[in-house]
Amino acid sequence: MIDLEIPKKLTPLLQQARLVANNVFRPISRKYDTKEHAYPKELDLLAALLDGLNDGGGGASAKSLSREKGAGGDARSTDEPAKKKSRNGANLSTVLGMIELARGDVGLALTIPRQGLGNAALAAVGTEEQKQEYGDRWIAMAITEPGAGSDSAAIRTTARLDGEEWVLTGEKIFVTAGERANAVVVWASLDLALGRAAIKAFLVPKGTKGMTVVRLDHKLGIRASDTATIVLDECRIPKANILGSADIDTKKAFAGVMSTFDNTRPVVAAMALGVAQASLERTRQILREEGVDESAELLRLEAELEAARLLTLKAAWMADNGIPNSLEASMAKAKAARVANELTLRCLELVGPRAYAEDELLEKWARDSKILDIFEGTQQIQMLVVARRLLGKTSAELR
């Protein structure tokens, strides 16, 4: 059974993450919000420090902090609840660490080297050989296309086998860390006529001929994180670079690559929790300084935030214990993102003009929070996933 108390063994992780948020992220947050496409070189020192702690046996806390977007564990490992002793593993520690990091800056948290969404895909469905070769790289994930946003089944990027190589052709947009990453996990179809069942994921190393970053986007928030458009023109990669099986199973659709989201949606929820918590803390501080009593509205939002936190911890705990958590992951992501959007905007209203000063992070947190309700599945998609799970409907039956 899930224990709602934070495990004592994770205390060092949370302390480290909070120190990073307060002493590394916040001091440079405005700098890289203004210089949108400049790489935050300060993070190289942070990554090197974390690598050193890992190599030197610095403990689980350092390892968890250094793989915030690469949560481990496969939530699909069994159809029955695990009978072994309840455990708190990489997923829970990653979620808790990300809550703390996001209190500092979500964009910078997304920009820590070697912590891309593609790393989570590799952890979820990669072979041991692939993990050994790509485990130390920074891997982005390329899913969205100009004509395929929330509906991943509408992907039109293709992959065809030519001898011992896959040949990829298509265009991907909104690729987080698309320029900075060392490799990209590209979603592509083996047969457009077969829809979801033919969607597979492929590892494409940076510098591979035929893969080109053609544009970096200007954004409302998370400006420290680069967002790229990538074109694949007859891009050739080794046959072994497919993630998972090349077999097309129309009954299982693309459950293998989709399982990545069962691990990462709670992490996005954690980002939302961190941003919302930061806004709540800062708003209370300002109101106290101004001699204003705390409003009932703020207390209501705090209650909503706590509900989102519990949903998120449950989804992560389930993944750590081998319990299918697709429903709970979508619930957590939908709830936390919605609460973060509402809370950060309400904090701006409660604080008033002071919230919009150049040296005040409240307005930035409000801008950053919006993307958390959009990427890795919009609010509407999460509601569809939840409804399908609760009603026992397929995607074809409930759209």
pTM over 0.85: yes
Rounded percentage of the chain residues whose pLDDT exceeds 70: 88
3-state helix, strand, coil in the chain (%, to 5): 50, 15, 35
Which DSSP string corresponds to 110-125?
TTSTT--HHHHHHHHH
242: helix, strand or coil: strand
- 304: Cβ–Cβ under 8 A, 6 or more apart, which residues? 339, 342, 343
Tell me phi and psi for residue 227, to 5 degrees. -125, 115
160: helix, strand or coil: strand
Bridge partners (DSSP) of residue 85 are none
Q: Which residue has the higher pLDDT, 62 or 159?
A: 159
pLDDT greater than 50 at residue 205:
yes
Instruction: Please give the pLDDT value at position 84.
Output: 62
Check if 328 is active-site.
no
Q: Which residue has the tokens 């293709």?
A: 158
Asked whether the beta carbons of 161 and 116 are under 8 A apart, the reply is no
pLDDT greater than 70 at residue 367:
yes
- 174: Cβ–Cβ under 8 A, 6 or more apart, which residues? 144, 217, 227, 229, 375
**Hey, which bits of 99-182 come out as E strands?**
139-142, 158-162, 165-176
Q: Is 395 exposed, middle or buried (0-12, 13-18, 19+ CB in 10 A)?
A: middle
Asked whether the beta carbons of 76 and 255 are under 8 A apart, the reply is yes
Band of pLDDT at residue 82, cut at 50, 70 and 90: very low
Q: Which of 42, 100, 376, 397 is the catalytic position?
A: 376
Q: Which residue has the higher pLDDT, 396 or 167?
A: 167
Tokens of 98: 């990300």
Rounded distance between C-alpha atoms, residue 97 and residue 94, angstroms: 5
Domains and CATH numbers, the chain: 138-243 (2.40.110.10)
Asked whether the beta carbons of 327 and 386 are under 8 A apart, the reply is yes
What is each CA distance from 394 to 323, 378, 384, 385, 391, in whole angstroms?
20, 18, 10, 9, 9
pLDDT greater than 90 at residue 115:
no
Q: Which residue has the tokens 């947050």?
A: 29
63: helix, strand or coil: helix
pLDDT per residue as tens digits for the range 217-251: 999 999 999 999 999 999 999 999 999 889 988 76
Asked whether the beta carbons of 158 and 199 are under 8 A apart, the reply is no
Tokens of 188: 């592509």
Asked whether the beta carbons of 102 and 270 are under 8 A apart, the reply is yes
pLDDT greater than 90 at residue 45:
no
Q: How many helices (H) and strands (E) does the chain have?
A: 13, 8
Bridge partners (DSSP) of residue 148 are 145
Average pLDDT estimate for 48-58 = 54
Beta-strand relationship, 199-205 and 183-189: antiparallel
